[in-house]
């Protein structure tokens, strides 16, 4: 079961995000399962947060934990799993910031195209941690995907055989 911890009136409570499947009931739609909106301050760089990576696909979460355990730097998840609604908010904010949907999509994709919504992408901070993942992540199935986002990594077990070529930005189609 996926849970998120919420502070209510000074108490910390576990709030279920999805329930374990019961025979005869549909599975939760991963794209609608939210990830955390924020997290505690990243211990090595206060400009970033360190979200719990809950909500990622189970295989991706296991691979993230393996990667983090292997690292010789502190890695923070500045952004991980997002639901369709969370991704739409991020995209809308980017449109407001950059002025057009086309410009915003260079940095934030709409929900139907984002691998954060699919639960296979994390944004790693600080820069030293992202450098470490770029240099060492392939062995664990993690690859950087966009030239203009040094922080964005996606998991695919096939990446252990080699990372695909970097795309210029999130709007680029794989060649």
Q: Distance between CA 166 and CA 75 in Å, rounded?
A: 22
- Per-residue pLDDT tens over the stretch 11-21: 443 434 443 55
Instruction: Supply the pLDDT for residue 27.
Output: 58
40-60 tens-digit pLDDT? 999 999 999 999 998 999 999
Q: What confidence score (pLDDT) does residue 60 get?
A: 97
Domains of the chain: 31-161 (3.30.1380.10)
pLDDT for 39 equals 93
d(CA 94, CA 96): 5
- Among candidates 151, 149, 128, 153, which has minimal Cα distance to 138? 153
- Contacts within 8 Å (CB) and 24+ apart, 137-141: 137/67, 138/162, 138/163, 140/63, 140/66, 140/67, 140/70, 141/63
* Per-residue pLDDT, 19: 39
| Residue 171 CB burial class (10 angstroms; 0-12, 13-18, ≥19) | middle
Alpha helix (H) residue ranges in the chain: 58-70, 84-98, 101-104, 127-136
Phi-psi region of 99 (alpha: psi -120 to 50; beta: other; left: phi over 0): left
Q: The tokens 């260079």 sit on which residue?
A: 106
From the list 86, 64, 87, the residue with the least C-alpha distance to 77 is 64
- What pLDDT sits at residue 37? 87
Q: How far apart are CA 82 and CA 60, in angstroms?
A: 14
pTM of the model: 0.81
Mean pLDDT by runs of 10 across the 175 residues of the chain is 40 41 63 87 96 93 97 96 95 96 92 93 97 98 96 97 94 74
């Amino acid at each position: 079961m996926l849970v998120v911890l919420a502070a209510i009136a000074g108490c910390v409570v576990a709030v279920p995000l999805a329930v374990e499947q019961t025979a005869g009931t549909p599975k939760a739609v991963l794209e609608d399962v939210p990830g955390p909106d924020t997290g505690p301050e990243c211990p090595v760089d206060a400009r970033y947060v360190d979200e719990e990576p809950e909500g990622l696909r189970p295989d991706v979460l296991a691979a993230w934990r393996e990667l983090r355990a292997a690292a010789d730097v502190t890695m923070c998840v500045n952004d991980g799993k997002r639901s369709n609604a969370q991704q739409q908010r991020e995209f809308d904010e980017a449109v407001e910031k950059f002025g057009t949907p086309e410009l915003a999509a260079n940095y934030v994709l709409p929900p139907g195209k984002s691998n954060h919504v699919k639960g296979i992408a994390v944004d790693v901070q600080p820069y030293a941690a992202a450098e470490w993942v770029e240099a060492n992540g392939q062995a664990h199935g993690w690859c950087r995907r966009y030239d203009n986002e040094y922080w964005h990594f996606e998991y695919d077990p096939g990446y252990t055989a080699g990372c695909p070529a970097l795309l210029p930005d999130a709007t680029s189609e794989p060649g």
